[in-house]
Structure formats: structure tokens, C-alpha cells
Amino acid sequence: MALLTALQGGFGDTADALRIDGRALSREDLLGAATAVADRAAGAPALAVLARPTVETVVAVVGGLLAGVPVVPLPPDSGPKEREHILRDSGAALLAHAVGEDVPEGVPGLPVDPAERSATSHPEPAADSTGFVLYTSGTTGAPKGAVIRREAIAADLDALAAAWQWTAEDTLAHGLPLFHVHGLLLGVLGALRTGSRLVHTGRPTPAGYAAAGASLYFGVPTVWSRLAADPEAAGRLASARLLVSGSAPLPVPVFEKLAALTGHAPIERYGMTESLITVSTRADGERRPGSVGLPVDGVRTRLVGEDGAPVPYDGESVGELQVAGPTLFSGYLNRPDADAEAWTADGWFRTGDVAVIGADGFHRIVGRASVDLIKSGGYRIGAGEVEAALRDHPAVADAAVVGAPDEDLGQAIVAYVVPDGAVTGDQLTAFVAERLSVHKRPRRVVLVPELPRNALGKVLKKQLLAEHGGR
């Protein structure tokens, strides 16, 4: 069975089956333009895509999938070091981009023209072949490439379609970035598998969501928080069928305000780049604030204590959440060491998140097993990567980065820096933004005389937060 079933006909078509930041494409036009990309990308070891929220990005991604070439979305705001790492590590031989767009040196460009057409017929790639290599930040070091099989994507989208009653009758709207699971795999490929219309708003603004006229909306807590603060825009979502929140916990006050303003209690779901979406509230089930619901079809979960023993499902006991099922990734590209840490001996994936499961099976995510993975505005950011960038500054002797609670972003990146010379917080923020993705820059920089450490030399980040209150 084809991954992108809506491109094979049978769902009907309209001139605006996909609308991306105001530009429309029919599915037939998308297929013709993407096939032209596939003709040029076929046989490449991997196709990087400069993943801006544009029609060109969608055409390029679909073209890579049609050609059976692993697609590597490249964050458009990535800094030189991060970009070079992703291109080198993935082995991408081509970088797809809009016609006339400046692209980094080192990888040949593949200009994408949405008006181009090809009628070539490419055979459907094997279900167990790689669809994507998605780069995800860990707690230390450079981002790792998670290898995602086509069959894992199909299994997850079908499970979510069942959980959310997502059909070709829906119109999906969102304004999420197109270089990660939420915005791209769910928010674009989901529409191309279920047959729903897609409206991508370009940016996830309250006005854009209000104008979309959709039945199904995707957003991260930051998006929903801003909508909840705009009663007029939120009220225009009352005609929707379902609001879905993910990528970070949705604050209960935002949940309650959205429900009051729109008449819809939002759906919450849980997942990771490595596992895709594994747990979700159902469209026809209870929507409980602070809960992400039940495992989706085909997925199994378990809680494990620090001693490796099972944790009871009593709604109170906390354990590490581990998952198994058809949506899991194949492993980290060229990282057998990371694979060994990520999997248990009996084949379960260690999420690194701690959770509570009730007797009724409802899951509540408590947080990370460590404080080194920050969720800010829907992004997952490794503290170690930001710390390394800060330490590259000549006026920085040491640095520790934490996620401080933030009403808008969920967590804000706060850097505690021991200076070694004259430097300001604004200078350090700009320094990081020039080297990493812009969303990884510190929102606040606190200059401190020293960092608290334990006997083993490990920085006591919780103590930093307690002493400074995230300031």
C-alpha cells in the first residue's frame, strides 16, 4: 500500500487541496511537481530539504518519498555548525530549495519549481525502507539522526486517524515548522494519507488559525496559550471538530480557557521523534486536563522503576516510560553507542520521560528523567549543545543551561554563565543564535561567580533554578 494514498486518487481533488502560507496546490499538481523532483533525486543516498513553511518544501519532501530517497529536513534557522553536522552526518548528496534561494556551500542544490511537471512513474519503495532521517537534540553533543521507516509513519498515521476520527471530510489547519514530526509527518503527510484538506498558516498566529476555517487544528502549547489570550480569535474555532495539542505538556489553565472560549476541550497526545506519536486522548473519549490518554493502536507502554522492576498503575507511582510497537524508529544513524543506551535488552525503547499511569490506563507525563532536555515552544532542545556553544565564547569560563517554567513557551532557555572578561547577556544570546538554530538561543542569561557542583563535579541545575528562580 502506498504511503501517500491521497496522491493515488480516490479521495477527489480540488485546486486548493493544499494551501501553504496562502499558496494553493491541487493534489494532482503536487504529484506532478514532486515527481519532477523525484526524477532528479532518484538514486541519491539522501535528500536534504531546506524546510521552510512553503509549497517548495512540501514538493521537495514528497519528491524524495516518491523516489525512495531518505529525506533529511534541515531547519531553516540552523547555524553553520549545526547545518554542517546534519549534512555531513546524513550523507545527503543534494539539498532541495526554492528557486533563487541562497543555500549553504558544500552540497549541490536541487532547485524546486512547483510549476514543473513530470509524468514519470516511480515504483512504490519498500515499506521497510527509510523515509526520513530526523535530527533530534539529546542531552549532550550534536543532534542525532533518527532513522524513520515508511511503515512506521504509515502505522502511526493510521493509528492517529482512528484515535482522532480523522477522515477525508476534515480540513486540517496548523502553522507548525516543517522539519519535525508534529508539523511535517503529522501535519503534512497525515493529510496526504487521510485525504483531508490542508491549510498551513505559514506562522501559527491566532489570526491565521481563526481564518483557516478548519475542522481539525494542530498546535503546541505556545500556540494554544496565545490563542487563549485572544478571545475573539479563539471563538472562531468554535466551529471546529477537534483541537490537538502536543510536543510539550499543555498547562491546565490554558486547557480550561480554550475549552471555555471554543467549546472544545483539547485533545492531548504524547510522542517523540524516535517513537512518533504513541499515546493520545481519543476524539470520542474523556479529555482529562494534564493527561495524554491511552496508547494508540499497536503501541504498548510500560513503567519501570530505577531498579528495573515494574511500577504499579495506581495513578501515583512514577516510573520511566518505555514503549514498543510498529511506530518506533530503526535506530540512530551511525550511532551504535546511542542505540545501545536507547533500547532495553527485551526490545523496548527508553523514552527518558517519567510518567504516571492510572488504573484506567490514562497516562500523565511528569517530565524528563533529567533536567537536560528542554521543551520550549514545542521544540526539544539539548542543554549540552547550547552550553557548548556558550563555552566557545572567549569571555565565557563556564556555563550551565536549564529550562525554567514559562507561561508562553512551556520552558524558557536560561543560561547561567561564569564570565571570563567583559560580556553581556545580549552578546551571548546573539553569539548562540549565530551558531545554532535561533530557537535554541537563551531567553535569559544570568552572570554568576560560580556554578554549584556536587562532589563528582556535576553542576547542580535544580539548585540553580531554586536559587535564582529561573532568573
Q: Which CATH number is 424's domain given?
A: 3.30.300.30
Interacting residues of 260 by C-beta distance below 8 A, sequence separation 6+: none
Whether 436 and 464 map to the same domain: the answer is yes
233 falls within a domain: no
93 vs 151: CA distance, rounded Å: 24
The least confident of 202-206, 289-293, 386-390 is: 386-390
The least confident of 88-92, 137-141, 333-337 is: 137-141
State the average pLDDT over residues 304-313: 90
Whether 16 and 57 map to the same domain: the answer is yes
72 falls within a domain: yes
CB 92 within 8 A of CB 46: yes
254 falls within a domain: no
Whether 386 and 361 map to the same domain: the answer is no
Residue 74 pLDDT > 80: yes
257 falls within a domain: no
- The full DSSP string for 53-81 is SSHHHHHHHHHHHHHTPPEEEE-TT--HH
State the average pLDDT over residues 401-410: 90
Tell me the percentage of the chain whose pLDDT exceeds 70: 95
Q: Report which of residues 323 and 137 the model is more confident about.
A: 323
Helix (H) or strand (E) holding 130: strand 130-136
Q: Report which of residues 33 and 452 the model is more confident about.
A: 33
Whether 338 and 435 map to the same domain: the answer is no
CB 374 within 8 A of CB 403: yes
Q: Report which of residues 55 and 471 the model is more confident about.
A: 55
Q: 12-22: per-residue pLDDT in tens?
A: 899 999 999 99
Place 324 in a pLDDT band, splitting at 50, 70 and 90. Answer: very high
Predicted local confidence at residue 414, as pLDDT: 95
436 falls within a domain: yes
- Domain CATH code at residue 304: 2.30.38.10
Taking alpha carbons only, the member of 232, 238, 190 closest to residue 214 is 238
Whether 338 and 392 map to the same domain: the answer is no
State the average pLDDT over residues 296-316: 92
Place 207 in a pLDDT band, splitting at 50, 70 and 90. Answer: very high
Taking alpha carbons only, the member of 306, 35, 294 closest to residue 160 is 294
Q: How far is CA 401 from CA 250, 412, 444, in A?
A: 23, 10, 10
Whether 394 and 340 map to the same domain: the answer is no
> Would the pTM count as exceeding 0.75?
yes
Residue at a domain's end among 147, 182, 216: 147
Place 386 in a pLDDT band, splitting at 50, 70 and 90. Answer: confident
243 falls within a domain: no
Mean pLDDT of the chain: 92
Whether 15 and 132 map to the same domain: the answer is yes
- Domain CATH code at residue 43: 3.40.50.12780
Residue 72 pLDDT > 80: yes
Residue 402 pLDDT > 60: yes
Q: Say what angle helices 252-262 and 221-228 make with each other, to 10 degrees.
A: 50
Whether 319 and 410 map to the same domain: the answer is no
State the average pLDDT over residues 281-292: 94
Place 422 in a pLDDT band, splitting at 50, 70 and 90. Answer: very high
Whether 392 and 352 map to the same domain: the answer is no
Whole-angstrom Cα Rg for the chain: 22
Task: Report which residue type is found at 268.
Answer: E
Whether 281 and 361 map to the same domain: the answer is yes
Whether 300 and 430 map to the same domain: the answer is no
Predicted local confidence at residue 332, as pLDDT: 97
Q: How many domains does the chain have?
A: 3
Residue 97 pLDDT > 90: yes
Predicted local confidence at residue 456, as pLDDT: 41
Domain of residue 383 covers 373-468
State the average pLDDT over residues 92-116: 92
Q: Report which of residues 316 and 165 the model is more confident about.
A: 165
419 falls within a domain: yes
Place 380 in a pLDDT band, splitting at 50, 70 and 90. Answer: low
- C-alpha cell belonging to residue 424: 553581556
Predicted local confidence at residue 274, as pLDDT: 97
Whether 109 and 37 map to the same domain: the answer is yes
State the average pLDDT over residues 114-141: 90
The least confident of 109-118, 399-408, 424-433 is: 399-408
Residue at a domain's end among 348, 368, 388: 368
Residue 455 pLDDT > 50: no
Q: 230-276: per-residue pLDDT in tens?
A: 999 999 999 999 999 998 778 777 899 999 999 999 999 999 999 99
Predicted local confidence at residue 139, as pLDDT: 53
Residue at a domain's end among 340, 368, 396: 368
Predicted local confidence at residue 103, as pLDDT: 82
329 falls within a domain: yes
Taking alpha carbons only, the member of 198, 254, 265 closest to residue 230 is 254
